[in-house]
A and B are shown apart, each in its own frame.
Chain A
Amino acid sequence: MERVLSKIAEVTSDPYAYVAGLKERKNKKIIGCFPMHVPEEIVHAADLIPVVIWRGNEPVTWGHAHVPPYDCGITRSFVDDAVRGKLSFMDGFVFHIRQCLQAGEFPFIMERHFKPAYQKILYLPAIYPGDPTRDFALKELESFKTSLEDFTGKMISDDSLKKSIEIYNKNRSLMERVYEIRRAKPEILKAKEVMQIVWSSMLMPKEDHNELLTELIKGMEEKSVKAQKERIKVIPVGCLCQTLQFDILDLIEDLGMIVPDDDLYIGSRYFANPVNLNGNPLKALADRYLTKTPLCPTKGVWDIHWGDEAIKRMRDNDAKGIISVRVKYCPPHTCYYPDFRSKMAEEGVPEVMIEMEHEIISLEGVKTRLQSFAETIGGV
């Protein structure tokens, strides 16, 4: 278990070096998939390596010539990395631009200034009202597949796509098992370690990650931990397309709370629900996107409230409250938050909101909010 965690920490501590090294080791092209929801399986089936683009950990400098300072952290950080040549190991990019206004800027900035060898814009529907959107999504995925075939000069067969889906489904089921053990024994992993495990899945070839997870699960099953019943269970929710600052997760635990589960993108949202392989694999991918990826302010179904899902997760885990982590300058999340907060109030669910900003985080202020929250739900 320690060996796997140490390998995962190594991958996530410097994703730039890891992915650049990966390209050299595997002698394959790297395609950066902008979060969220790009069906990486199609890239994998094209014999390319898909990696999910991440928010860097440095303040934005030169990138501000291309994006305004009121864009979110991952937007600005990604453009800054590109301007500074930090992403030169990437051969192409896929952007799903329907999810927010800022994601829509990328393809044009990249095309204008960096001219990647491959670039694809996906227009996947944000709301799922029925068959017309299913047909639309399927056509988009067909066009995505064709563009990759044109790029590589090789056809993607149904069989190779099905094989890629199986590998990705295996990763989803292994990740689900990690979460299942953690729900039963929340003390077994630190919240930060769990996030690193999910993040490494976004960076590593899934075959390699599956091997690591198999070893990790064995260790987790065998390891016994002392239950810390005095700790208050809380569920972090939100932070929809970027890495949550690890310091926040550490603070939650340092203040006497414990995280048995989460509703975060670099968390349970990434691997939720497998692709149902039954017939046309592209149709199966479209179905997963439309009906099985967890709801959020960027993708919804009219009659289901994201807040309900979060509350269910909290109650299923016997947790006492929800910590909403919001990214500053994230329009979808910011616009949806008042509804989310009202839902929490209606249901009497204790909730605190922590706002995360790329360059600035006043940890003392975050600590006071989290500690007050722990005191409130702990009855001080």
Chain B
Amino acid sequence: MAIVVGVDVGSLCTKTVILDGDGGILSYDIMRSGHYYKGAADESIESALKSAGLKKSDVSYILGTGYGRGAVAEADAEVTEITCHARGAARLFPEVHTVIDIGGQDSKVIGIGDNGRVINFVMNDKCAAGTGRFLEVMALALSVDIGEMGDLFFASKEKVEVSSMCTVFAESEVISLFAQGHKKADIAAGIAHAIARRIVGMVGQVGLREKVVMSGGVAKNSGVVRAIEERIETRLLVPREPQIVGALGAAIIASERMSATIG
């Protein structure tokens, strides 16, 4: 049984997925990356192996992906998160043609062919606006737990505009919106719409082709998901655990490479 591991070292979280020889998920792990990516990768692999009742020596192939893909010390190869998210999403939803991935530090829209291969993509990595980090900063400014942000969206009664262009300016805006007497829920909804506006621009560049999957940590925010759905007028398919899609894709590619080696 060829056990393979996919490790996605993101700027905020490191994710690991372990597959068995038949491509079944044996276990997965999600942890904060911190400032030492190599250590986070090692720890995440260790934790996922423990959950699956496996040892490192059981593993045939490790593939690293994500922002810190070069930090996976024991990786046999590295592939970008763009390719991995496409492959992971296609495994979970075979009919997918577009992936919206909003991670901790950047966001991507990926166009996918029928075989799960990337056709085209756009990536925003110059500004934290519209990313997981943006949501974290906004949650802090709203004094709410980041997990509550999605629920607040649905409690909103009044439309409030928040800039989508800059995290720092958006934070100042949130403070002034408070000063103007706006409610937390309305501001939270404004923030979700700000993220959605940025994403719609990227979807326009790649071209919207259904089905559309949303992956990455921000997909756990139901408010942002709804805001994007409203703007692109398309339902988003969100995996049960959207954060591990990249690591799953990495593990799938690892598995393909193992099969090719074995012949």
Contact = CB atoms under 8 A, between A and B. Distances in A.
A365 B123 contact: yes
B79 A380 contact: yes
A376 interface: yes
Given A364-B67, A380-B253, A375 B80 contact: yes
Contacts of A345: 120
B80 A362 contact: no
B81 interface: yes
Interface string A357-380: 000101011001101100110011
A114 B218 CA distance: 53
B81 A376 contact: no
- Of A360, A371, A379, A380, the most chain B CB neighbours within 10 A belong to A380
A371 B117 contact: no
B79 A369 contact: no
Contacts, number: 41
Contacts of B81: 368
A375 B83 CA distance: 7
Contacts of B121: 372, 376
Interface residues of B, number: 16
A376 B79 contact: no
Contacts of A376: 83, 117-121
B80 A368 contact: yes
A162 to B, nearest CB: 50
Contacts of A369: 123
A362 B79 contact: no
Interface string A43-54: 000000000000
Contacts of B120: 345, 376
A362 B127 CA distance: 10
Main secondary structure of the interface of A (DSSP, over half): helix
A139 B140 CA distance: 65
Contacts of A371: 79-80
A368 B67 CA distance: 8
A380 B125 CA distance: 23
Question: Interface residue tally of chain A, by bracket?
Answer: 10 to 19
Contacts of A380: 79, 83, 117, 253
Interface in B100-151: 106, 117-121, 123, 125-126
Contacts of B199: none
A175 to B, nearest CB: 34
Nearest to A374: B80
- Of A360, A368, A371, the most chain B CB neighbours within 10 A belong to A368
A256 to B, nearest CB: 12
B61 to A, nearest CB: 15
B122 to A, nearest CB: 8
B125 A372 contact: no
A372 B118 contact: yes
Contact of B126 (A362, A372, A379): A362
- Of A362, A364, A372, A379, the most chain B CB neighbours within 10 A belong to A372
Contacts of B82: 368, 372, 375
A190 to B, nearest CB: 22
A365 B117 contact: no
Nearest to A377: B118
A360 B125 CA distance: 12
A372 B117 contact: no
B117 A379 contact: yes
Given A365-B106, A380-B253, A375 B79 contact: yes
A365 B126 contact: yes
Nearest to A344: B120
Contacts of A360: 126
10 contacts: A364-B125, A368-B81, A369-B123, A372-B121, A375-B79, A375-B80, A375-B118, A376-B121, A380-B83, A380-B117
Given A371-B79, A380-B83, 8 more contacts: A362-B126, A365-B123, A365-B125, A368-B123, A368-B125, A372-B83, A375-B82, A380-B253
Interface of A: 345, 360, 362, 364-365, 368-369, 371-372, 375-376, 379-380
A-B complex: 5 closest residue pairs judged by Cβ atoms: A365-B125, A372-B82, A372-B80, A375-B83, A376-B118
